[in-house]
Amino acid sequence: MRTYLLLLLILLTFIACSSAPTKKYDTEYEASEEISYEGWEQQTRLNKDVLDSASHNAYIDIYANDLGVNAYLKRVNKFPVGSELFKPLYADKKRKNIVRLVIMVKKEAGYDSEHGDWWYGVYDKTGKEAWYQGRIHSCIKCHTIAKESDYLFTDSVMDDIEMQDF
């Protein structure tokens, strides 16, 4: 009986551990590199009112650094290297609680040429702690829908933003 229980315990432990995320990073490329985006909220917020994001299932804002802002506003189809985009996700409309921060950074050609050379990050609200980063497969998969506009959903977001100005 005891052996049976012990085996069961080992089995349960095995199941629990194997289903938990074992790797923090999707890529070994940057596994040792922890980049901090502390101060991200000092960048420019593109929208006025909070946006309702169906795809990310949350309320969102979109921030960008100077390189990113200009490109985004002009809806370019190739963003300059160094463009940084930040999207805080809130649980509520009043922007009280940032659940997480998703980030995209345009890297040099060759970083991930098949997918527009974007680096993806999922961070805590301070922008200091990375939960996932690199060439995150699930992000790439959906952002590929917007391949024509350099993997960013510029058009739909800008349409929403411009609506807010009227």
CA 30 to chain centre: 16
Q: Can you give the binding site for ligand HEC, defined by CB under 6 A?
A: 53, 55-56, 60, 62, 85, 87, 102-104, 120-122, 136, 138-139, 142-143, 152-154, 157
Q: CB neighbours of 27 closer than 8 A, spacing ≥ 6?
A: 134, 135
All residues at 6 or more sequence positions from 5 whose CB lies less than 8 Å from its CB, including other chains: none
Q: Which is nearer to ligand HEC, 14 or 49 (CB)?
A: 49
Nearest distance, CB of residue 62 and ligand HEC, angstroms: 5
User: Least distance in Å: CB of 130 to ligand HEC?
Assistant: 11
Rounded (5°) CA angle 52-54-58: 60
Smallest distance, ligand HEC to C-beta of residue 96, A: 19
